[in-house]
Amino acid sequence: MIEIKKMVVKVSGKTILDGINLTVKPGEVVAIMGPNGSGKSTLAYALAGHPKYEISNFQFPISNKKKKNNWIIKLDGKRIDDKSPDERAKAGLFLANQYPMSIPGLGIYSFLWQTWKKRSQISDFRSQKDPKVMSLVEFRKYVVELAQSLNLNLELLGRSLNDGFSGGEKKKMEILQMLVFSPKYLVLDEIDSGLDVDALKIIAQSVAKVAKEKNIGVLVITHYNRILKYLPADKVVILEKGKIIKTGGKKLAEEIEEIGYGKI
């Protein structure tokens, strides 16, 4: 379970999130919705450990942060808010970025292979494939299968990571990385922005399927309800001006679709 306790997040001294309490259980899909500027993406970055996002606790000033009981984020009972992004990833957290970076010259197969090897060193690696017996050739086949399931242009796999990719291709690449990585918890940061209907459907269904199969806890950050049609949320949380203003079930998302954030 991901547990967030009274989390305050500041960027350059400015408070963006103000006292967030939230949990995501294994296998649970939690949607975070809210208008632009409500702090949705900040929540994603703060969870993943981006250095620009300064996390503190509502009750305890930053100076007391190191104290044992002053935890802010826990993953399966272990504190992670004092950990670096790579350590959080190794704990099983995967962030699918809203704006994935391009890394020219970093070949995709090579990158995915390194990701796979890194992740497979961790005891709770949940891939269906056994990392001990997979050769590089088999791994390439496996990646091709995953890419095909996402209807990703296979020609792209021969390129550098996200280099010259369209917005939609980058988003599919995020999901492909996620499938290889096999996380315990997945944060989707506006994965639906800039996607056409077909791509959105493929991505959302693929996430829903793998989350169910492997009991992955998913935090879906989105502006719109449409992704939730294919990736049904168990819980919907509405953020506004850095605070959670409402929590509900699937119906809450539908309501927002009809009447907008202003009336909630």
- Window contacting another protein (CB under 8 A); options: 60-68, 95-103, 211-219, 253-261: 95-103
Of 106 and 264, the one with the shorter C-beta distance to another protein is 106
Q: Closest approach of Cβ 124 to another protein, in Å? A: 13
Question: Which one of 29, 89, 108, 231 is in contact with another protein (CB under 8 A)?
Answer: 89
Residues 264, 216: Cα–Cα separation, whole Å? 30
- Contact flags string 17-56 toward another protein, x per CB under 8 A: -------------------------------xxxxx----
Identity of the amino acid at 164: G
Q: CB–CB of 56/82 below 8 Å?
A: no
Task: Indicate whether 167 belongs to the interface with another protein (CB under 8 A).
Answer: no
- Window contacting another protein (CB under 8 A); options: 9-17, 108-116, 198-206, 230-238: 108-116
Of 180, 168, 191, nearest in space to 129 by CA: 180
Q: CB–CB of 68/160 below 8 Å?
A: no
What's the 3-state SS for 56-88? EECCCCHHHCCCCCCCCEEECCEECCCCCHHHH
Task: Indicate whether 124 belongs to the interface with another protein (CB under 8 A).
Answer: no
Question: Which one of 59, 62, 67, 104 is in contact with another protein (CB under 8 A)?
Answer: 104
Task: Indicate whether 101 belongs to the interface with another protein (CB under 8 A).
Answer: yes
Identity of the amino acid at 144: V
The 3-state DSSP class for residue 44 equals: helix
